[in-house]
Structures are given as C-alpha cells and as structure tokens.
Structure 1
Amino acid sequence: MNKIKDKKQIEILVVEDNQGDFTLIQDYLEERFLSPKIIWAKNFKIAQSILVDIEFKADLVLLDLTLPDKSGRDLINHVIPLCHAVPLVILTGYSDIDFGITLLSLGVSDYLIKDELNAASLHKSVLYNIERKKTQIQLENSEKRYNDLFHLSPIPMYVFDLQTLQFLDVNVAAEMHYGYSLQEFLSMTIRDIRPIEDLPHLMESVKTLSETDPEVSKGIFRHKRKNGELIYVDIKCNTIRFQNTTCRIILANDITERFTYIEAIEKQNAILNEIAWIQSHLVRAPLSRIMGIIDAIKNQGFDSTDNEKLYEYLLISAEELDIIIGDITKKSEQIKPIPYK
C-alpha cells in the first residue's frame, strides 16, 4: 500500500562523504516527501562553498560528524556560523546521551543516530526542527523588537523586581533624564528615586500591586533626579517576567511642566475668584454708603448746614473704596501670562 507523501516543499543540504549513507538518506526523504530538493556535499569544503552562496536557501542541513577534511567539534564550530537561520541536524554513530547534550549546547538543532535512522524518524526530525527554528527566529525577532522599543524609546523606561524593588534594566532615556548611569541604576532600588516623604505611599502602592497583580496600573507620582530636583511623572506599568522573576516594566512620562502650568492656572483662578469676591462684597458696602450720602445731600439741599457731617462720611467711604481698589490692583498685577512649552 502506497503511503501518502508529505506535500511540503523542502530543500535539504546533506553533507555526507559516504555515498551509501547519502543514498539511504535520499531514499528516506523521497519516501516521505513528495518532491524534496536534495543537495549533496561530500566534504566540508564543498558544503562551505554552498552555504556561503547568497542564492542558497535551504530549509535544513544534515551533517555527518566525520568528514575527510574536518570532523567533530571543529567541524560543528565551522558549520554553525554558516547556517545562520537554517537548522543544523547532526548525523552520528554515537549514542552517548552526554555527547548528544554537548552537541545541542554547541547550537545544533538535533542529532540522529545513523544505526537507528529510518524514514519515519528522519521525516519527524526534519519537520520538527524546521518548525522549531521558525519559532526560535520569531522569538528572537520579538525579543529584538522589545529591546528596540525599550532601549530606543524617547520616554524613560525601566524594569524593577517586584519583591526587592531593585532596578533590573533601564533605557538610555531614563539614564539621561534622571542623571544616573546604567551601573548606578542597577545598584539602586526604586526607593532611591522617590522623595523620603513619599516612601510610605510608594510601599503601599507596591503592596497593592503584589496582592492584586493588575494587568496595567497607572498614576501620577513625584520622582527625584540625581541632582535632587523633584519632578512629576505620569506612570504606566505592566507585570512581566524578566530574568526569571516577576517584575514591573515602567513607562515614566515627565509631566512637570504641564503639572506646573496647571498649578499656575489654578493659582490665578484662585486670585480671580478672590477679586470677584472683593468686587461683589467689599466694594459694594462703601459704594452703597456713597450713593446714600449723595441722595441725602440732594434731599437737604447743597447749602444745608448738616451737609458738613455728610461730606465727612463721604470722604471716609471714598478712602475705604480707594483702599479696596488698590488691593484689587495689587492682586491683578499677580496675574501674568503663563507660557506653556
């Protein structure tokens, strides 16, 4: 009964000096794959010329560990840099487990014992190692994107251990903004960038994070730069696994200028409210008295002998009003344009 062949299109480089072994491998591959493209290199020199060719796009390399011009660890150390993103599977006559672990530690994807090789095991190894290499490359690309996003971000970012509060990593923007070098940061905890009076609030926040473990948290806090300057930062953080421990990754956006601007606006609003209160309450009293005195003078006639006392009251009210107006003027002078950068 004919077995259904794998239709996956694969290209494999077989580096093997023994023609009999190569033929057997070729038969196994053709038994399981519909149309495999198999390239044969009889020694390291030929394999090297194939692997350095920029047009060569193999899915996998099968490498015999003993070649006439190079063998063993020396062979592996020369072939691995040439494979780049191509998985390397070793063909060996050794069945020693320690030897296999050594091979894997050198960067080899897998190793197959020649005496135990068959079509099924070879087919499984080829598919497994091709897919695993793809996953590995995706993971490496993901890590690179993380590193780029983290280290190249223009906004200060850092990672700290949720248990010890130790800084584990910081980006360049954080170094420049806070004034500490990477080495200084790594010897510090997040307590060192907080004013002393804010530490109880910090520890309470950390306790809450540890107990509730929210996916995302945020807030506005005060931080302290190396030169002692206090800044206001808008914090956004997530829990991540980093260096085999539970950590928080922090994005710290400095909003000191905006915070100062809002604070200045609030102060000016307070002054305006005070001026409005003075105008609606304090000004009204002397102004009402002045208007009443004027009416009294009109009713009694301008030549009345009683007007002397009314004129005195009128002067007192006018002086009181002048003082109030002077106070309003002083307060108004405190209101100046606030530039926002």
Structure 2
Amino acid sequence: MSPGYDYLNLLVIEDNEGDFVLVSEAIEEIFPSCSIDRAPTFESASTKRIQDYHLVLLDLTLPDKSGEELIKEILRLAGKVPVVVLTGYVDRNFAIKSIALGMSDYLVKDEIHPDILSRSIVYSIERKKVFNRLEQSELRYRELFHLSPLPMWVYDQDSLRFLDVNEAAIQSYGYSRSEFLSMTIADIRPEQERKKMYEAVEEGKAIPGLRSAGTFLHTKKNGQLITVEISSNRISFDGVPAKLVLANDVTQKKAYIRTVEQQNRRLRDIAWVQSHVVRAPLARLMGLVNLLEIELSDLPAEKKELLNHIVFSADELDDVIKDINEKSQNIDMPEKNN
C-alpha cells in the first residue's frame, strides 16, 4: 500500500464489466481498504456526487456519450476531483489532448499494472491537490509549493531565471537550491531543446491561467536526460511577473509506450508473413480440389461427401487467413509525437 493512502473512495466510469473487474483488482492489490463504485453510463455517473470521491477513472467510450464531449461533461461534474482516462489504444495525440482539456493522466487498459495504476492514482491526486489549492489562494503558495511531491519551480518571465524551487526539484535534478537560483530554465535543457523551449515561453505569455505546455527533454546535473510533462500558471512572485511550473517525469511511461508500439509492429509483421506463407500452398490445394471435383464427377455419393469435406475445410482455412490479415492491418500504430 502507498503510504498516506490508507483509504480511498474511487469511482470507475466503465460500461464493460470485464474491464471494470480487471481495474478493480489492480487497485485493490495496492489499496486493499479502498471503496470502488461503478457507473456504466454517463447518465448513471451524473447522478452521483462525484465531489465525494478522491479520484475518477473514466472510460472514453460509453454507450450514451464518448470522446471530447464526455471529457468536458465529466470534468464539469468532477470539479476539483482528478479524472484519469482509461483508453483501449496507445493514442498519444488524443491522450495529450485529453490532458490539455484537464484530465490528470491517461492509462492504456490492456497494459494496466498495479504499480503503474498506483503511481497514476497517487500522482493524479497529489497533482490535483496542488493546483486546487493554488486556485483557492496564492497566499498559501509557499507551503503547498515546498510540500509538493512533484518537482516545481518559479521563474522570472523576462530573464527566465529561477526564483524558487521546491525540495522535489532539488532531489530530482541534483542541483542545490543555490545552484538553481544562479541558473535559468534554459540551463536544464539540452542544446537541441532550447529553441522549442523559447517558443513555448513566448507562446505561454499570451495564454492566461493554467496551461499544459507539453512534453520536453530536461537534463539533470549528472547529465541524464529525462522526459517531462510541463504545466504552468502565471503568478506574481514578490511583485515580479513569474511562472509557476510543475514538472512530471514521464520518462518511464514514454519508454513503456515505445515498447508497446514496437511489439505492435512485430506482431503485424509476423501476422502478415505467416498468412502469406500459408496462403500459397492453400491456393494450390484449393485448385487441386476443384480439378478433382471436375475429373471425378461420377464418384459414388459417399466419396463425393469426403471431397466436399475437403473443400469445406480449405474454405474455412482461407477464411482464417483472411481474418489474420485483416486484424494485422488494424493493429493500432500511433503517429510519432514530435
């Protein structure tokens, strides 16, 4: 069990009972004392007091609502409760879009593991807590900032210098507080990422309020590269126009998705090769059977029945190969997200 989470009250909005059971079992393995409610439709979810839950797990395809419309309606009902997307596909583009709309995280159903699910639940709850409190009052900023379990910092919008960093950032990046305060945000980016960073900074100046800036490469003090999702918000820091930044390390998640994509490619290649290798002798067999039907048209009825069984079996095998071909072409292959 994750420390500090002795009891959780969760809502799973999922129409497929089998998927609900799998998700519930994974949750209970890490949080044995949790309470899990299910809503199979948007209508049934809308009748619940979602604000009473710690977190919502949402299937993107429900019988009565789906996609972006569903996300917006659930977020409206959830208010300050974090919502994590459950998706059946490694759809990186839509996953990023869902987070930009306000979702806390996204998980692929078929690849859910208790540790990944536990981390997502804890991080989503903590991340949502941070931003909910920031919205309530900037006067409570310092306490929340330094207690956040995720790396956070404040930087000057003009000079890009670090103005403050929390303990999680110091532990994660390896720089001391004094080292951070002598640096700019460009100093934790590899050279090839800095143009992208400057463009994001300029774009962010025109966008008020909370903003998901996207995914970036960062460099730790020891030279290690990590992939982070950046969220930011404008604040006034000691009278200086600044940005409050939250950095979520998604290096392992990105590597995991790449592994799934590679497995999908290999599976599609194997299915294609195997189906075409089998099809050639099958085509010859079906041709020979057709010739036998013509040449042996005067066979006794019982022997014709045997020949018919051969024809039926060959046709059945042909259908199986076609099905393999079709399914191999439908394996989801997300586009690269640059």
TM-score for both structures, normalised by structure 1? 0.42
* RCO higher in structure (CA 8 A, sep ≥6): 2
Higher-Rg member (1/2): 1
